Amino acid sequence: MNDNMKLAELLFGDIDKTPEYYEELYPVRNLKEGARVTRFAPSPTGYLHIGGLFGALVDVLTAKATDGVSFLRIEDTDKKREIDDGVSAIITGMDSFGVEFTEGVTGFGTEKGDYGPYTQSQRVEIYKTVAKKLVQEGLAYPCFCTAEELSELRDTQEKEGALIRGYFGKWARCRDLSFEEQEAKIKAGVPYVLRFRSNGSDDKRIFFEDVIRGKIEMPENTIDEVLLKSDGIPTYHFAHVCDDHFMRTTHVIRGEEWISSVPKHIALFKACGFKIPKFAHTPQVMKIDEEDGTKRKLSKRKDPEAAVSYFVEEGFPKESLLEYLLTLLNSNFEDWRKANPAADIFSFPFNLKKMSSSGCLFDLVKLTDISKNVISVMDADTVYSLVKTWAEAYDSELYALLTKDEAYSKGIFSIDRGTAKPRKDIAKWSEVKEYCSYFFDETFTDKPELPENITKEMAKEVIEKYLTVYDSEDDKDTWFAKIKEICEPLGYTPNVKEYKKNPDAYKGHVGDVSTVIRLAVTGRRNTPDLHSIMSLLGKDRVIARLNSAAEAFSA
């Protein structure tokens, strides 16, 4: 047995499998030509950032568009970042927005698919098996340097102005320890990490084709990167290489912060004898800072909208957020949507190559506009059921109001809906309470504020006159004819043009008369169709509100 073989046994005596075993266990996927295998690989921090949802959508859409596979892998090797059951925030976030993976983790402790386990902490044996092989081939070695020694090394490199910093070449003290030295330290229980033995050279370059960014050229990796930490847990780099190989990922789609690590990853794929997957580095989600107007990364600390849960709590329908994210993802999405207005968003023929490589701006105002459109074309039953579900979780008062009389509540959402030009009043469910407050006596506020051109006396006169003609059975035309009818006797004109020509001849026009009625009945100047509102409110409520307004204006 040569020294490498002896070292491999010393370090990994408990590992009896070989990489070949896993090659067979996880065979190359039998998919049609061009099918892509993608993965979403979050760390379970208990928080799902909007950038995470954005990335997951890219994974799922890429796989769907090519009849491929997408899976969810939990990267829980960084104990510092991990929180108890951090998986739930990810799963709940994905579920809330209808993002479904073909395989992978499905809940806390549950998963589906043949390429698992899909949680890194359960794959330690696989990493060790690959690491053992690297040690046998002289491509990895134990490093016993302490934290202090490594920090000294960094200081020295800084002082010397070394161009490349890190553990490599002459700095890599443990690289050339003899087997006897290694054995003595291990037997003495000295803690160690396992490092990659890089054979890269800084005068060589690597090239790779990023699917989003095109050709990228960088210096070759020379660093002896840590593969396994002292507790035997892999680093991100090593776990990524082993997992994406054995899970047969074809396209590693991840945030642009990983671009600089690609040379390391390529070196590791090669050392392990694995095929190098395609890489696609997605741009970051940015925003314009409200204070200084600069473009910056959406921050977990400063921006509530950085958390996916924010959109759930605010009651943005999932369709709205998805629709908006798709406009950020592919510039041709809006044209596709125009041509396919009713199509399921997940049938969009997403193309990674059409993604922009510069940071994409997350704009709440644009999301709000999109959401108003999305909600405006939903039918009343859908709106009712979505609002009800939201209110059940986030607004018990609204929930109680809406569920008291289901038909009445659906009536609210039917007004002006289903027409060629539906109103675009609601952007999120948290606005519904305010939107429909005047439909319920409990939330109606009868303190109508009159426009400047109408005095209390004028308003009182209008209401009293209107009460003499109001009939709850009137259809819309008759209803409006009656409003016009009372204009002239009160000194208003039913004809707006006429008023504009000759304003001094009248107290106002038909618009002013209906404003007074609208204010009395709803407490607002602006509402959807007033005739529909009055029909829904019903005779008794309308008369009561007209009377109480007349009284209020007498004061």
Q: Among residues 210 and 464, whose Cβ is nearest to ligand GLU?
A: 210
DSSP secondary structure string for all residues of 97-123: TT---SEEEEETTEEESSS---BGGG-
**Which one of 133, 197, 254, 287 is in contact with ligand GLU (CB under 6 A)?**
254
Residue 408 corresponds to which tokens in the numbers above?
A: 């009445």
Find the part of the chain contacting ligand GLU (CB under 6 A) among 36-44, 155-163, 371-379, 428-436: 36-44
**All residues at 6 or more sequence positions from 96 whose CB lies less than 8 Å from its CB, including other chains:** 308, 312, 318
| Whole-number Å distance between alpha carbons of 375 and 223 | 53
Smallest separation (angstroms) from ligand GLU to the CB of 306: 15
**Which one of 43, 66, 129, 136 is in contact with ligand GLU (CB under 6 A)?**
43
Find the part of the chain contacting ligand GLU (CB under 6 A) among 5-13, 41-49, 137-145, 262-270: 41-49
Q: Among residues 280 and 360, whose Cβ is nearest to ligand GLU?
A: 280
# residues near ligand GLU by CB under 6 A: 6
Q: Among residues 240 and 428, whose Cβ is nearest to ligand GLU?
A: 240
Among residues 139, 103, 136, 104, the alpha carbon closest in space to that of 122 is found at: 104
In this structure, the number of other CB atoms found within 10 A of the CB of residue 340 comes to 12
Smallest separation (angstroms) from ligand GLU to the CB of 337: 28
Among residues 355, 280, 207, the alpha carbon closest in space to that of 38 is found at: 280
Find the part of the chain contacting ligand GLU (CB under 6 A) among 38-46, 316-324, 516-524, 525-533: 38-46
* Residue span 45-84 as binding mask against ligand GLU, x where in contact by CB under 6 A, dash where not: ------------------------------x---------
Find the part of the chain contacting ligand GLU (CB under 6 A) among 7-15, 37-45, 225-233, 391-399: 37-45
Using rule CB under 6 A, residue 42 touches ligand GLU: yes
Supply the DSSP symbol for 416.
Answer: T
Q: Among residues 103 and 431, whose Cβ is nearest to ligand GLU?
A: 103
Smallest separation (angstroms) from ligand GLU to the CB of 52: 8
| Whole-number Å distance between alpha carbons of 100 and 378 | 23
Check if the beta carbon of residue 149 is closer than 8 Å to that of residue 155: no
Check if the beta carbon of residue 36 is closer than 8 Å to that of residue 62: yes
Find the part of the chain contacting ligand GLU (CB under 6 A) among 5-13, 39-47, 329-337, 377-385: 39-47
Using rule CB under 6 A, residue 193 touches ligand GLU: no
Measured CA angle at 335 (ends 338, 64), to 5 deg: 95
Measured CA angle at 8 (ends 24, 267), to 5 deg: 65
Smallest separation (angstroms) from ligand GLU to the CB of 286: 17
| Whole-number Å distance between alpha carbons of 398 and 413 | 14
User: How far is residue 71 from each of residues 117, 149, 251, 360, measured CA to CA in Å?
Assistant: 11, 40, 12, 24
Q: What residues from 392 to 421 belong to the interface with ligand GLU (CB under 6 A)?
A: none
Give me the phi and psi of 210, to 5 degrees please.
-80, 130
Q: What residues from 450 to 469 belong to the interface with ligand GLU (CB under 6 A)?
A: none
Q: What residues from 496 to 515 belong to the interface with ligand GLU (CB under 6 A)?
A: none
Interface with ligand GLU by CB under 6 A: which residues?
A: 41-43, 75, 240, 254
